[in-house]
């Protein structure tokens, strides 16, 4: 089950059913089923608190993934900061919705086992994000 929550801000405008179907399709393309996935939209302040408390990182980020997946089923809590996404979209000269969808699937790709710590991993992650975005035509 894929759910959308907000902690201290409003949830950005998105088609929850379309996103849920898309996430299931992307997971299936890696041989995974979707378990419980929680998208939790929160402020920059809140995501920074989560980042520091649980990961000992003292900086803002657009997404933090907590992975509870098993061998064939992906599950997790995905904390997302729409304000950080908006800032990144502006810097990258992307539409907010495009960047939002990229971040939504970025978290799912983490749950599927993809990492982004090294330059090589980041390159692979970007290719997988683009492939997923094309799947649902969010980039058009």
User: What CATH number does the domain containing 42 carry?
Assistant: 3.40.390.30
- CA–CA separation, 26 vs 16, rounded Å? 15
**137 falls in which pLDDT band (50, 70, 90)?**
low
Look at the chain and report how many structural domains it folds into. 1
pLDDT in tens, 25-74: 999 999 999 999 999 999 999 999 999 998 888 877 999 999 999 988 99
Q: CA of 13: how far to CAs of 7, 31, 96, in Å? A: 15, 29, 10
């Amino acid at each position: 089950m894929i759910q959308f929550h907000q902690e201290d801000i409003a949830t950005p405008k998105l088609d929850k059913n379309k996103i849920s179907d898309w996430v299931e399709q992307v997971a299936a393309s890696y041989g995974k089923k979707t378990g419980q996935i929680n998208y939790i939209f929160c402020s920059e302040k809140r995501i920074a608190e989560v980042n520091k408390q649980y990961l000992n990182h003292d900086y803002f980020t657009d997404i933090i993934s907590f992975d509870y997946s098993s061998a064939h089923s992906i599950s997790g809590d995905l904390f997302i900061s729409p304000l950080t996404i908006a800032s990144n979209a502006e810097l990258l000269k992307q539409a907010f919705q495009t960047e939002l969808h990229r971040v939504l699937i970025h978290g799912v790709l983490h749950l599927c086992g993809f990492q982004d710590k090294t330059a090589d991993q980041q390159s692979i992650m970007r290719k997988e994000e683009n492939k997923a975005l094309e799947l649902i035509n969010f980039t058009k």
